[in-house]
Amino acid sequence: MTIKLYCFGESGNSYKAALALQLSGLEWEPVFVDFFNGENRTPEYREINEMGEAPVMVDGDLKLSQSGVIQQYVSDTSGKFAGQTPAEKYEVLRWVFWDNHKLSSQAGMTRFLMNFLPDKHRSPDVIGFNLGRLKAAYQILEQHLEGRDWIVGDGITNADISCCGYLYYPEPFGFDRADWPNIDRWLNNISKQPGWKHPYDLMPGSPADRA
């Protein structure tokens, strides 16, 4: 049975799940969530996910949400991306949690505030505060990638798939690849993986649709 992923192009959290599915070789298909018209706030969607978020993965009777959980399921099912040894598995999980806590959460919110919210609702103080926190996160990732091709071990893992979630998007959110040479090199390593696609090509929906 084909795995379904409720997602939309602008969602970096959805991208983490979609990219894990795509690179794993599992059969999957996207189901468009019309986030910008409020579909995720409808009672019907709250039945799918009480947290009101995308992505949601459905595989037969199993329904999962939170990108980190879907990534874990893809690893459990495909045997890929979770690390080779017990120490590597904890290290992979560490970076997935760090990403959820410090990187993607801030990047997603800041990109939303700077690009998808009407001007009158934008607070320069909030954006500035978030940009400061994000810069600290980029510095930690940049330093960790010094001399490394991958965040953990010798190949791509959920750590990479999680941390890259927002970093291919073109909209401004305080991230310029040219400022971070190790991150830039590592993003190229990921995009060279067989089957890799940009978020706007891998999932339905993009700002171009709403232009």
Nearer to a second copy, 7 or 64 (CB): 64
Nearer to a second copy, 50 or 201 (CB): 50
Q: In the chain, helix, strand, coil percent, each to 5?
A: 55, 10, 35
CA–CA dist 185, 96 (Å, integer): 20
CA–CA dist 107, 137 (Å, integer): 10
CB of 182 to a second copy, least distance (A): 14
Q: Tokens 């999962």 appear where?
A: 64
Nearer to a second copy, 101 or 185 (CB): 101
Sheet of strand 3-7: strand arrangement? 28-32, 3-7, 56-59, 62-65
Pairing of strands 56-59, 62-65: antiparallel
CB of 16 to a second copy, least distance (A): 11
CB of 95 to a second copy, least distance (A): 8
In the complex, the residues that contact a second copy under the rule CB under 8 A are: 50-52, 62, 64-69, 72-73, 87, 90, 93-94, 97-98, 100-102, 105, 123, 125-126, 129, 140, 143-144
Instruction: Identify the helix (H) or strand (E) that includes residue 87.
Output: helix 86-98
Pairing of strands 28-32, 3-7: parallel
Nearer to a second copy, 62 or 178 (CB): 62
CB of 89 to a second copy, least distance (A): 9
Nearer to a second copy, 56 or 156 (CB): 56
Q: How many residues does the chain have?
A: 211
CB of 127 to a second copy, least distance (A): 10
Residue 31 CB-half CA count within 13 A: 15
CB of 134 to a second copy, least distance (A): 13
CA–CA dist 166, 111 (Å, integer): 9
Nearer to a second copy, 148 or 197 (CB): 148
